[in-house]
């Protein structure tokens, strides 16, 4: 097994793919955190789809499948799409979701038209341009990595330098404006950097699935942390984990597409985080609800026994199981067993057996019931 992994890591192509996936994980995790917190998750989607016409234009200008040209084109149309969207939302009555939808489909349609035009050309070099739809990680070259690494480093530097400003603009743009921060400029910087992240991912996962890389690591990370710094760091780590897992699984011979595997891994991380993260996870919330319901059930039984005893002026009044059955429309046997285990109630042993099982409050049970009835929830908790 280790030998298998060693051989994999020794493979030149696998190294390239792995490094590319790591860059993609870092840059999309970091910038995705800001996008998710600004509730602009779908911005990544629009930017990614809008990159397709740029890919084609870059190809047309370079006359060959040259990655720098293609990525520059992708960045240009991505930014153009973002600006169009901003204009639409500010100047018309369209809401953000409608603006996103219009821009996304307009640019993507233009991209597909350009793509089919290029594919109709008698140019041998056009082969494989459609891999930008779903990505083709195996085609990653060492020279591509320099570009992707450079973009990642630039984005990280910018985020580090503008950390407190980006945090404030994300959390409270009005206050940021009131203390004189150039809010619009910072928002444009963030958007442009997300466009850069998309560009890094084009080669790996393609325009269609890139949005998952922007959203998934950040959304998963949000579940586990309490600080923005921790969220950004964890999102980058999860992005790297997804990228590495996806590319290694793909390279291990199964011959499955790398990009979709990366996205599937990231989605699994989101699912796990949504379910399991302490405090925010759905599983914990369900557990909490279940415990509360159980505690309330116990308290009700305890209070019933207490009231019956009080009504009969007998602290050790034996309550018949049948009475509880009628009262609760079913026997609260499990609640009774738990209360007995905690020594709050005891079965009455000396009843004639034809009367059926009876229960009485112990001294501790009486005190617990009194506390409960006084409104102090500590009684049966």
Partner 1 sequence: MAETPLHEPGLALHIEDLTVAYQGAPVLWDIDLDIPPGVMAAVVGPNGAGKSTLLKAVLGLVRPSAGHVYLLGRRPRRMLKRIGYVPQRSAVDWDFPTTVLDVVMMGRYGQLGWLRRPGRETRERARAALAQVGMERLAGRQIGELSGGQQQRVFLARAMIQQPDIYFLDEPMAGVDATTERTVVDLLQRERDAGKTVIAVHHDLQTVHDYFDWLALLNVRIIAQGPVAEVYTPENLHKAYGGQIPLFEGGRKARGQRAAGAGRAPEGAEP
Q: How far is CA 75 from CA 16, 49, 110, 181, 322, in A?
A: 22, 11, 15, 26, 75
- Other C-beta atoms closer than 10 Å to the C-beta of 54 total 31
Q: Is the dihedral of CA 73, 79, 80, 82 positive or negative?
A: positive
Which CB atom, from 56 or from 186, has the smaller least distance to partner 1?
Answer: 186
Nearest partner of 343 among 373, 363, 370, 369, judged by Cα:
363
Instruction: Decide if residue 39 touches partner 1 (CB under 8 A).
Output: yes
Q: Which residues contact 50 (CB under 8 A, 6 or more apart)?
A: 77, 78, 80, 81, 82, 103, 104, 107, 108, 111
Instruction: Decide if residue 98 touches partner 1 (CB under 8 A).
Output: no
Among 1, 3, 124, 179, binds partner 1 (CB under 8 A): 179
Instruction: Decide if residue 228 touches partner 1 (CB under 8 A).
Output: yes
Number of residues counted as binding partner 1 (CB under 8 A): 27
Among 227, 341, 350, 353, binds partner 1 (CB under 8 A): 227
Quote the DSSP letter at residue 125.
Answer: G
Site residues for partner 1, 148-177, by CB under 8 A, read 161, 163-165, 167-168, 170-172, 174-177
Instruction: Decide if residue 185 touches partner 1 (CB under 8 A).
Output: no
Which CB atom, from 167 or from 342, has the smaller least distance to partner 1?
Answer: 167
Nearest partner of 31 among 201, 206, 182, 185, judged by Cα:
201
Question: End-to-end distance of the chain based on CA atoms, in angstroms?
Answer: 50
Which CB atom, from 53 or from 239, has the smaller least distance to partner 1?
Answer: 239
Contact region with partner 1 (CB under 8 A), list: 221-229, 262-270, 344-352, 355-363: 221-229
CB of 179 to partner 1, least distance (A): 3
Instruction: Decide if residue 180 touches partner 1 (CB under 8 A).
Output: yes
Among 5, 113, 153, 178, binds partner 1 (CB under 8 A): 178
| Interatomic CA distance for residues 30 and 25, integer angstroms | 8
Nearest partner of 135 among 299, 281, 256, 3, judged by Cα:
256
Instruction: Decide if residue 281 touches partner 1 (CB under 8 A).
Output: no
CB of 157 to partner 1, least distance (A): 12
Give the residues across from 360 on adjacent strands: 346
| Interatomic CA distance for residues 204 and 210, integer angstroms | 9
Which CB atom, from 113 or from 161, has the smaller least distance to partner 1?
Answer: 161
Which CB atom, from 109 or from 160, has the smaller least distance to partner 1?
Answer: 160
| Interatomic CA distance for residues 196 and 155, integer angstroms | 8
Which CB atom, from 164 or from 341, has the smaller least distance to partner 1?
Answer: 164
| x-marked contacts with partner 1 along 247-266 as a string, rule CB under 8 A | --------------------
Which CB atom, from 77 or from 170, has the smaller least distance to partner 1?
Answer: 170
Site residues for partner 1, 19-38, by CB under 8 A, read 37
| Interatomic CA distance for residues 197 and 213, integer angstroms | 9
* Site residues (vs partner 1, CB under 8 A): 37, 39, 93, 161, 163-165, 167-168, 170-172, 174-181, 222, 225-228, 230-231
């Amino acid at each position: 097994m280790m030998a298998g992994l060693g051989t994999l890591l020794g493979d030149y192509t696998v190294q390239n793919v792995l490094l590319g996936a790591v860059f993609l994980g870092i840059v999309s995790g970091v910038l995705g955190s800001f996008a998710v917190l600004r509730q602009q998750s779908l911005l990544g989607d629009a930017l990614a789809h809008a990159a397709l016409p740029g890919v084609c234009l870059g190809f047309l200008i370079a006359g060959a499948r040259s990655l720098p040209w293609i990525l520059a084109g992708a960045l240009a149309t991505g930014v153009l799409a973002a600006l169009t969207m901003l204009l639409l939302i500010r100047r018309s009555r369209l809401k953000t979701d409608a603006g996103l939808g219009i821009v996304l489909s307009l640019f993507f349609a233009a991209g597909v038209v350009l793509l089919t035009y290029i594919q109709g050309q008698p140019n041998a070099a056009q082969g494989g341009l459609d891999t930008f739809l779903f990505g083709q990680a195996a085609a990653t070259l060492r020279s591509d990595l320099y570009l992707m690494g450079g973009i990642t480093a630039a984005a990280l530097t910018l985020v580090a330098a503008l950390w407190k400003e980006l945090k404030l603009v994300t959390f409270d743009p009005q206050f940021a404006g009131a203390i004189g921060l150039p809010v619009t400029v910072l928002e444009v910087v963030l958007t442009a950097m997300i466009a850069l992240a998309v560009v890094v991912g084009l080669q790996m996962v393609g325009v269609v699935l890139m949005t998952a890389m922007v959203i998934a690591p950040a959304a998963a990370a949000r579940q586990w942390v309490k600080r923005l710094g921790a969220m950004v760091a964890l999102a980058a780590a999860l992005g790297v984990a997804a990228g590495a897992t996806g590319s290694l699984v793909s390279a291990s011979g199964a011959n499955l597409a790398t990009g979709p595997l990366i996205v599937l891994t990231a989605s699994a991380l989101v699912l796990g985080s949504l379910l399991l993260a302490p405090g925010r996870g759905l599983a914990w919330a369900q557990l909490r609800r279940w415990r509360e319901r159980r505690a309330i059930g116990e308290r009700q039984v305890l209070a019933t026994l207490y009231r019956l005893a009080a009504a009969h002026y007998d602290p050790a009044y034996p309550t018949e199981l049948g009475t509880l059955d009628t009262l609760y429309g079913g026997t609260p046997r499990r609640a009774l067993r738990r209360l007995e285990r905690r020594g709050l109630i005891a079965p009455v042993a000396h009843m004639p057996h034809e009367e059926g099982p009876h229960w009485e409050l112990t001294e501790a049970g009486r005190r617990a019931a009194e506390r409960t009835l006084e409104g102090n929830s500590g009684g049966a908790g």
